[in-house]
Structure 1
Amino acid sequence: MVLHTHRSTATPNHRIPAPGQVAFVGAGPGDAELLTLKALRALQGAEVVIHDRLVSSDVLEVINPAARLIDVGKQGFGLSTAQADINSLIVKHAHAGDRVVRLKGGDCTLFARLDEEIDALGGADLSWTIVPGITAASAAVASIGQSLTCRGRNGSVRFLTGHDTNGFADQDWKAIAHSGEVAAIYMGVKTARLIQGRLLMHGLDPNTPVTIVENASRPHERIIATILSRLPVDLATYCSGGPALTLLGLAPRASSKSLSNTESPKQELA
């Protein structure tokens, strides 16, 4: 008696791929050693990594060497990849069965248009996970030896963006202009003069300390300690064009130089 078994002649290319996995991963401020273990595992297991312009080369180096890297960089008031195109790329590769990492600088839940990309996956019936990262504000205050909140100084901190999809992002400057307020302003370099004008108009002391941390946590980090009245001038003089975060109401602690990494000296400019 001979038994015959049916064997499919379909090749793997003819199979309908299973839906891929999508992880939104925070790359942190730039230092690869600040990646979380969960982020590192996701990057080393990825097949496709769709990353932002602000993701550092050090972080890109720890990604699975076999992964395909797709740069979808955005730049405030400059050339950018359309958000709709980014959404389509994520959906396309997930539908193809790839393990996709959408890699965002800092923390992917903060000023990163995460909701729009999640909505695109939901509309395509695809699942996702979020791996948070260290945001630039945390790295910046660590570099100047300060904390974002301090008992007796400020019981709250504001996270603001200097511009949005329409240009300058207007905020509640009257509330921010109160003495003792602390704010971390993302993407505030090109709108510094407007921010300064709004705060002075609402009565904030021109001598209020402001610190700009450029390339926070990276080898070429630069700390610019100034005051509100000199903010636009000092930014134009000292900033080199790297990613920068503005800390309103905070100055570097006097002993912050002792916190510097001796292998990667920081520059403090006043």
Structure 2
Amino acid sequence: DVAPALSNFIFPAIVDRSPLVIAISSGGASPVLARHVRSHIESTVPAAYGELADFIGEHRKAVAERLPEINQRRLFWEDVVQSEVAERVMMGRRDEAAALLLAKLNGQDACAGGEVYLIGAGPGDPDLMTFKALRLLQRADVVLYDRLVAPEIIDMARRDAEKIYVGKARANHAVPQGDINSLLVNLAQQGKKVARLKGGDPFVFGRGGEEIASLVDLGIPFQVVPGISAANGCACYAGIPLTHRDYAQSVRFLTGNLKNNRPDLPWAELAIANETLVIYMGLTALPTISEELIAHGRAGSTPIALVERGTTANQRVHVATLSTIVDVVASRDIHAPTLLIIGDVVKLQATLAWRD
């Protein structure tokens, strides 16, 4: 062993995106601070940057032959790492990236077209955004957002990005869905990078499939970034496991949207005692929901939780039973967005709640 007095070598904190490697050192003054800085860098440097560095290394010689002047090459590579070439590499589509790179070298910038990013912003807490969601949001020239997206998340976009509110409340559509679809198309056809921010996950009662259908028809490139759904986020923050071997072996996601003034749900199928029901947009229809479930065989004593403004600083959890929940709601000032969780798993909330 070497005595401490005879050695002053210090291992730096490492961020490994081989062949790209970042070392952080405080010169021994504060290794803890160096590790803290490392954790910040880990969260901002995409995991696929190693692939990108390898791709650039693979094409350096060809680019140098075409662009012998060093400043030309520097400007070219600066453009590449912020372009669709880099994005394709990080998506694992290296052949497409190579074709785009060649087009750039030939002065045919195939990356200049628009693109749409359909981004799930999660259930409310900004810390629940994924790294990829944040990266694409910060690439966008235009951001379309709805009322379920927290202001703190919108603030993560570029300062020079145009922000357009297209939010919808029940029976009060700020922008019709068809107009939103057309707006995405028009902005992308203008060559803009468009982030469509949606609360929760865009493919779980988010109409994400409708919004990208027109893009598919017109050949407009897009990416879909999943988000933590309201069901998962609200249940976790409320302390309610959606499945549990002693209480529920399955979970079903439903929407409480009204059709002819009533929710259109398969009531007989929903009477299974060991299945958890998660109902989106069900606050208005709650009297009908509780009445129909009881009428079709679900016990009136079945626990139900209303998670109001889940995962945010204003979260509230209201627990009752199917037979008492309507009176509870009438006695309290409960606002949307509110998620309904029905089933015996709600019994665990009293002991598992960690945030209230």
| Superposition TM-score tier, normalisation by shorter sequence | 0.7 to 0.9
Q: 1:75 to 1:166 in 2, by over 3 A?
A: farther
Once structures 1 and 2 are overlaid, which stretch shifts more, 162-171 or 38-47? 162-171
Query: Deviations for 1:155-197, whole angstroms, at most 9, x for unmatched residues?
Result: 2100000005765331111111122221110000001011112
How many percent identity over aligned positions?
38
Q: Deviations over 1:199-232 (max 9, x none)?
A: 1110211110000101111001000011101222
Give the TM-score taking structure 1 as reference length. Answer: 0.85
State the number of aligned residues. 245
What is aligned with 2:268?
174
Equivalent of 2:313 in 215, 219, 222:
219
Q: Which of 233, 255, 278 is the matching residue for 1:161?
A: 255
Match of 2:278 in 1: 184
* C-alpha deviation, 1:125, in angstroms: 2.0
Q: Is the 8 A contact 2:258 2:285 kept in 1?
A: no
Judged with a 3 Å threshold, the aligned counterparts in structure 2 of structure 1 residues 239 and 160 are, in CA distance, closer, same or farther, namely farther
Q: Is the 8 A contact 1:224 1:238 kept in 2?
A: no
- Aligned counterpart, 1:37: 131
Matches within 5 A, 1:34-113: 34-113=128-207
CA distance in 2: counterparts of 1:77 and 1:150, whole angstroms = 36
Alignment partners' CA distance in 2, 1:239 and 1:54? 19
How far the C-alpha of 1:237 sits from its partner, in A, is: 2.7
1:5: which partner in 2?
A: none
User: Among residues 241, 255, 261, which one is paired with 2:351 in the alignment?
Assistant: 255
Higher RCO, Cα 8 Å, sep 6+: 1
Task: Give the Cα–Cα distance (whole angstroms) in 2 for the partners of residues 151 and 199 of structure 1.
Answer: 23
User: What is the RMSD of the two structures over their aligned residues, measured on CA atoms?
Assistant: 1.9
Aligned partner letter, 1:50: L
User: What letter is aligned with 1:79?
Assistant: H
Q: Distance in 1 between matches of 2:194 and 2:260?
A: 30
- Kindly state the Cα deviation for residue 24 of structure 1 after the two structures are TM-superposed: 0.5
Tell me which residue corresponds to 1:122. 216
Unmatched tracts of structure 2, length 5 or more: 1-110
Give the match for residue 326 of structure 2: 232
> What SS does the corresponding residue of 1:63 show, helix, strand or coil?
coil
Name the aligned partner's letter for residue 44 of structure 1. Q
Please list every run of 5 or more consecutive structure 1 residues that lacks an aligned counterpart in the other structure. 1-16, 261-265
> TM-score normalized by structure 2?
0.65
What is the alpha-carbon distance in structure 1 between the residues aligned to residue 332 and residue 231 of structure 2?
20
CA distance in structure 1 between the partners assigned to 2:210 and 2:112 by the alignment = 23
* Per-residue deviation, residues 9-49 of structure 1 (Å, max 9, x unmatched): xxxxxxxx943011100010111100000001111111111
